[in-house]
Amino acid sequence: MHSQRRSDTPMAAYQVNPDRSTKPVGIKKICCIGAGYVGGPTSAVIASKNPDIQVTVVDYNRERIEAWQTDDLPIYEPGLLEVVKFARDGNLTKRTPNLFFSTDVDRCIAEAELILLSVNTPTKSLGRGAGHASELSYLESAVRKIGEVAESNKIIVEKSTVPCRAADTLRDVLVATAKPGLHFEILSNPEFLAEGTAIRNLLNPDRILIGSLKTPRGLEAAQALAAVYGAWVDPDRIITINLYSSELAKLAANALLAQRISSVNALSAMCESVGADIDEVSYAIGLDKRIGSRMLKASVGFGGSCFRKDILSLAYIAESLHLFEVADYWRSIVDINEYQKDRFTRRIVRCLYNSLSGKTLAVFGFAYKKDTGDTRETAAITVIDNVLTEGANVRIYDPLVKETQIRHELKNTTARLDCAEKQLTVCESAYEACTGADAVIILTEWDEFSNQGEPVRRDSGHGRKTEERAGRKVDWARVAALMRRPMFVFDGRNIVDAGALEGLGFRVECIGKA
């Protein structure tokens, strides 16, 4: 046994004074490029915890930037508005404002010592790798801009999720575009927040991962970033590792999280055939400490902007390394997800006597999960597309997502066709959606759709009518009174007490239950 630490072994990043008085070395101005789901909340928390650092979030999207300057923020996250107001509106809180939002990208880049890259990295839609590889053009253009306008050395932080060795690409672009003599140190600091709980995750992260080159300048840059987080994160949770391990760890984390969901969803198909109950199976396996209970909830399928694209990116990387079996393994997680959405739709059609033509389906929820207004890759897109193709009339209600956004998401599906457009109605309430409906399809696990548990609470800050509806739950007896007979509930999230709904006359179909 030897206790000597290898030089590349992950370690707590740095030591802070017990009184937390350590000041970030040299960092007085941070610029975050990208005012989205990651850039906005992350910058708001950094600013709120580091009153001496000026944090400016920049984006070319003027509408988004203007919304960040109001109380109707462009994204909804529980607790986000309070953190933003605290750091942004110093006049209200007697605190000097240190959080700013701007479209003046050049000026903010030029002034900052540390730049957070939080731009989108979607799946490529054109050319080589289309449908699989990550699109790095947004990152590249942000970095070109840095090279163009920088007059001083900068630390550049990959917060976006990137393929392995993206840092090398960014360095290459900087070397080619920047003024001679300037130094740019690239760090990987992937973001692990989950939408819907972003503020909680940012305030109390499981870990902060900082990947750097193991050169003196790389380690110094990692220390400077660690000190920013050190204002509120325990030093033991700030981990410094190799730059490329950090890039890969983010893709791997998302792949493993999605893999748990696809595993449970694959089991749910078996449950329906053998008379088992997936909630009981998940509970039983989750009690094993080696497995743990989280991310074992069966559903209609995962959505969101990250899981699918990050798994496809990981598989593409494996394939480009000629690791074809590895690529197939990761891709099968996405395949099961598609299968689950399709299987759910087939069940709806089967239960409704093999025809949806002329029938009306009320869809409860369009967001990809509760407590967010994000609809990217939501399972609702596929399910709604499928039932429209079968001829159903679809009446959608989501507490947060606006009609324009729903129609935008559906524009590349059957709904783009004139006939399907007429089949689609976006409703203002669950009751409006249910009027004359043959079935309710629950696609988002919003608390208000469940007939069990506590009343709903939601803070303000985005979307329509959030305050006036807070505390309300769907009255299922009222729903029953509005629907045609026989009436069905297809619970794609397993959030209802099926027995209670059956007592009201519903036929209830849940995921993973016969």
Ligand X SMILES: NC(=O)c1ccc[n+]([C@@H]2O[C@H](COP(=O)([O-])OP(=O)(O)OC[C@H]3O[C@@H](n4cnc5c(N)ncnc54)[C@H](O)[C@@H]3O)[C@@H](O)[C@H]2O)c1
Instruction: Tell me how far, at minimum, the Cβ of 91 lies from ligand X, in Å.
Output: 27
- Minimum separation from the CB atom of position 339 to ligand X (A): 24
Please identify which residue in 121, 282, 375, 405 interacts with ligand X, judged by CB under 6 A.
Answer: 121
**H-helix or E-strand spanning residue 394:** strand 393-397
Q: 402 near 410, Cβ under 8 Å? A: no
Q: How far apart are CA 154 and CA 138, in angstroms?
A: 19
Q: What tokens were used for 207?
A: 């870990």
When asked if residue 61 is in the footprint of ligand X (CB under 6 A), the reply is yes
Write down the catalytic residue from 306, 419, 427, 510. 306
Binding mask 182-221 for ligand X (x = CB under 6 A): ---------x-x-x--------------------------
Quote the CA–CA distance of 460 and 470 in Å, as a whole number. 9
Both tokens of 372, joined, read: 């967010």
CB of 374 to ligand X, least distance (A): 7
Dihedral of CA 123/125/131/136: which sign? negative
Binding mask 129-158 for ligand X (x = CB under 6 A): ---------x--xx----------------
To the query of whether residue 306 is one of the catalytic residues in this protein, the response is yes
d(C-alpha 53, C-alpha 88), whole Å:
12
Task: Please identify which residue in 13, 16, 27, 33 interacts with ligand X, judged by CB under 6 A.
Answer: 33
CB of 410 to ligand X, least distance (A): 19
Residue count of the chain: 514
Q: In what order do the strands lie in the sheet with 11-12?
A: 11-12, 238-242, 208-212, 184-188, 154-158, 114-117, 29-33, 54-58, 99-102
The backbone torsions φ and ψ at residue 78, rounded to the nearest 5 degrees and listed phi first, read -55, 130
Q: Which of 37, 100 has the CB closer to ligand X? A: 37
Q: Which of 14, 31, 32, 36 binds ligand X (CB under 6 A)?
A: 36
CB of 421 to ligand X, least distance (A): 27
For residue 59, say whether it is annotated as part of any ligand binding site.
Answer: yes
Q: Is residue 306 marked as binding?
A: yes
Q: Are 348 and 439 in contact (CB under 8 A)?
A: yes
**Out of 13, 14, 55, 64, the residue judged to bind ligand X by CB under 6 A:** 64
Using rule CB under 6 A, residue 160 touches ligand X: yes
Catalytic residue set? 306
> What residues make contact with ligand X under the rule CB under 6 A?
33-39, 58-61, 64, 105, 118-121, 138, 141-142, 160-161, 191, 193, 195, 305-306
